[in-house]
Amino acid sequence: KWETSTKLDIGLNYGFLNDKITGELTYYKNNIDGLILNSPLSPSMGVPGNSVAKNVGAMFNQGVEFAVNAHIINKGDFKWSSNFNIATQKNEVTALAEGNADIFGVTQLETANITRVGYSVGSLYAVETRGINPENGRRIFINKAGKEVQYSHSVATGQSRWTYLDGTTAPAITVAADAKIMGNTIPKFYGGWDNNFSYKKFDLNVSLVYAGGFYVYNGTKAGLHDQRFWNNEADILDRWTPDTKTTATWPKVIYGDNVSNGSSFPISNNIEKGDFIKCRNIALGYALPTSLTQKAKISSARIFGQVTNAFMLTKYTGTDPETSSNGNSNLAPGVDKNSIPQARTVSCGLSLTF
């Protein structure tokens, strides 16, 4: 059946100084029932895309939106106008079908997302890690009981690869038994800042966008530290050795190890904050003098150059925190698995009006 929603919007529009400054402030809450999501199916069922749309439950979105527009400078030949906006968002699942059973989101062979009542849709789901053991270079995992468990890919026959720090055998770490929700993939706030400048016949536009309060699973990072003769990132050189045991970033390198760094299953070591500020567009133009255009029977002519996705400020170590391997998927968002970043485009042109 169709989704239904109950919405509440309370808004205030304002203007000051003869509307040199205008804007709006809005509170919203949207309760959605009969939530439609693509529920995963077993590949053996033969359904195209291995999923089918279902009414899976209910959720709500709520937050505050604020916008301000200002004519900052209007003196002679120079003008500057600006608009800024910010929106907050809280997303929470309130009910799921089939007894509120969790819904998992899959990326290739990884299950890095979960939709669970009381949390945001498509939250990141991984096993917590706690660095490496400086005594032996093994990755330390945290099991469901909160105990530290270390892993060694190379052990003698009959010995367990999974042990507690005292060397006693521990149950193997698995996503099903030990993973937990590690963060939301939906930004808690986002917005933009647009500036327009003009001086005589020159015009300049600078547009910034930003988002924060969300996390990305860097699956590319996991693959670049896999020890199955895969191509590695250069920072794997900072791995544990007897000489670097207290300063190393990565565990002891052992051929064939696809567990310690997150290739076998998602680990918290590969979850990063996705906060960013992007310069979405910079455009510079010049309107040719009418004394030149009229001779050619042209009403107006403008030459321009612009750069799209000019630069980005972020601490995310992947290519782009805004991209996702699963496109617009609601069940498996915020996963960067060898994703292609948004392209930087440089263009120029001539605009004519006859």
Condensed to tens digits (0 to 9), the pLDDT of residues 145-171 reads: 999 999 999 988 889 999 999 999 999
In whole angstroms, what is the distance from residue 320 CA to residue 340 CA? Answer: 8
Mark out the alpha helices in the chain (DSSP H runs).
97-100, 175-178, 219-223, 290-293
Please report the pLDDT score of residue 98 as a whole number: 80
Please say whether the beta carbons of 245 and 134 come within 8 A: yes
In whole angstroms, what is the distance from residue 112 CA to residue 120 CA? Answer: 14
In whole angstroms, what is the distance from residue 39 CA to residue 11 CA? Answer: 36
Please say whether the beta carbons of 103 and 39 come within 8 A: yes
Please report the pLDDT score of residue 291 as a whole number: 80
Q: Which residues of 125-147 are buried (b: 16+ CB within 10 A; e: fewer)?
A: bbbbbeebbeebbbbbbbbeeee
**Residues 6 or more apart whose Cβ sits within 8 Å of residue 291:** none
Residues of the chain with pLDDT under 70: 40
Report phi then psi at 286, rounded to 5. Answer: -140, 125
In whole angstroms, what is the distance from residue 68 CA to residue 25 CA? Answer: 9
Nearest 5°: the CA angle 163, 160, 135 is 45
- Per-residue pLDDT reduced to its tens digit, 244-253: 888 899 999 9
Please report the pLDDT score of residue 239 as a whole number: 95
Please report the pLDDT score of residue 40 as a whole number: 67
**Residues 6 or more apart whose Cβ sits within 8 Å of residue 333:** 105, 113, 121, 122, 185, 186, 324, 326
